[in-house]
């Protein structure tokens, strides 16, 4: 099998991916007919750059639910929890503290709006908000809004908080092939809400 830059593979598990050259990596995104669409690219490319370059080839679940000149909001690229959104800035910042105050406030405002909309539109009682900073090149900074689906945590006897490993177990319980329709449905509703 020829593995050139831009080559894509669909896999159920990331363990199915072949070994590749050290300077390359697979960008794994939920979607396609299995669980992940994986695109071979340079390690120098950031996730945000990748999402922009490959948007037309990604599963429709990655179409932004909101976008303007400063920010873009879309389903998390890797974890198929319905309603799990990333609020990312168009400009790349290595740290939150490097953002202009107006951009930082806009990210917080939209994170809160997404959180409250998930609560009001879908009755989700627990929605966590975080931010993430990747310091090493390619660096990026973004905000997460992650809903906690109560039926999943009760069924699996979890207490998913940032203070224990259950938060990671919770994220691993979702597979795209089983939650595809839910993700599309939540995205459709959220697009309408954020247009208001």
In tens, the pLDDT along 96-136 reads 888 999 999 999 999 999 999 999 999 999 999 988 776 66
Please report the domains of the chain, with CATH numbers, ordered by start residue: 57-195 (3.30.428.10)
**90 phi, psi to nearest 5 deg:** -70, -40
The average confidence (pLDDT) of the chain is 92
State the Cα torsion 14-89-132-143 to the nearest 10°. Answer: -100
| Joined tokens for residue 192 | 């309408």
In angstroms, the Cα distances linking 170 to 31, 82, 107, 131 are: 19, 13, 25, 18
Cβ atoms within 10 Å of 46's Cβ, excluding its own: 15
Quick one: average pLDDT of 71-75? 96
In tens, the pLDDT along 15-56 reads 999 988 888 999 999 999 999 999 999 988 888 889 989 999
In tens, the pLDDT along 144-170 reads 999 999 999 999 999 988 778 899 999
């Amino acid at each position: 099998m020829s593995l050139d830059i831009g080559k894509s593979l669909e896999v159920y598990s990331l363990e199915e991916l072949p070994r590749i050259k050290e300077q390359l990596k697979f960008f794994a995104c939920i979607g396609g007919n299995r669980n992940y669409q994986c695109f071979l690219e340079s390690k120098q490319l950031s996730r945000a750059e990748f999402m922009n370059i490959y948007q037309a080839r990604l599963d429709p679940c990655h179409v932004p639910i909101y976008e303007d000149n400063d920010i873009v909001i879309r389903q998390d690229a890797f974890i198929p929890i319905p309603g799990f959104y990333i609020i990312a800035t168009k400009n790349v910042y290595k740290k939150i503290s490097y953002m202009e105050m107006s951009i930082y406030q806009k990210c917080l405002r939209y994170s809160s709006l997404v959180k409250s909309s998930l609560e009001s539109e879908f009755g989700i009682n627990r929605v966590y908000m975080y931010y993430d900073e990747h310091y090493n090149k390619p660096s990026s900074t973004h905000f997460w809004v992650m809903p906690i689906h109560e039926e999943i945590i009760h069924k699996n006897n979890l207490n998913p908080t940032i203070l224990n490993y259950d938060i990671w177990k919770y994220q691993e319980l979702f597979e795209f092939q089983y939650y595809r329709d839910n993700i599309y449905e939540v995205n459709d509703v959220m697009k309408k809400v954020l247009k208001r």
